[in-house]
């Protein structure tokens, strides 16, 4: 199976390490952007299957959703569930608590990617 490409929008380097480990380097390539502007520059040159957004940067969901139709996955700690709920209101497709079981993360992201790919443009 070819590697999938994902983008993480976060100012938290530790989250990138946790997510990268969960996705497993054999299964996915994970790139990072500090904000939605950097994310758009990345998307101009590369394709990604989904964008992950740190719940602490939940406000980045709205500009991302306005210009990108793919899956947006909001990542939150147990204490920031209100940010996850807000994320759904402004464009996130899925919210996941981190840390989580890596198999569940992979299964949910793959299912979301398949479902969105089947939707008509």
pLDDT above 70 (res 71): yes
Counting the structural domains of the chain, the total is 1
Burial of residue 77, with CB atoms counted within 10 A of its CB: 0-12 exposed, 13-18 middle, 19 or more buried: middle
Read off φ and ψ for residue 68, nearest 5 degrees: -140, 130
Give this prediction's pTM.
Answer: 0.88
pLDDT above 90 (res 81): no
- Residues 32-61 have pLDDT tens digits of 999 999 999 999 999 999 999 998 888 999
- Residues 5-34 have pLDDT tens digits of 999 999 988 888 888 888 876 678 899 999
Note down the domain range covering 89.
Answer: 4-118
| CATH code where residue 88 lies | 3.40.50.2300
pLDDT of residue 19: 85
The predicted model gives 77-81 an average pLDDT of 71
**Whether 109 contacts 102, CB under 8 Å:** no
pLDDT of residue 110: 85
């Amino acid at each position: 199976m070819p590697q999938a490409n994902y983008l993480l929008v976060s100012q938290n380097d530790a989250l990138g390490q946790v997510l990268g480990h969960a996705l497993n380097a054999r299964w996915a390539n994970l790139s990072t952007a500090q904000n939605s502007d950097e994310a758009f520059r990345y998307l101009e040159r590369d394709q990604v299957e989904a964008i992950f957004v740190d719940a602490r940067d939940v406000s980045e969901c709205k500009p991302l959703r306005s210009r990108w139709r793919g899956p947006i996955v909001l990542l939150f700690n147990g204490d920031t569930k209100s940010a996850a709920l807000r994320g759904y209101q402004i464009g996130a497709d899925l919210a996941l608590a981190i840390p989580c079981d890596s198999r569940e993360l992979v299964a949910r992201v793959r299912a979301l990617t398949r479902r969105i790919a089947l939707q008509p443009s």
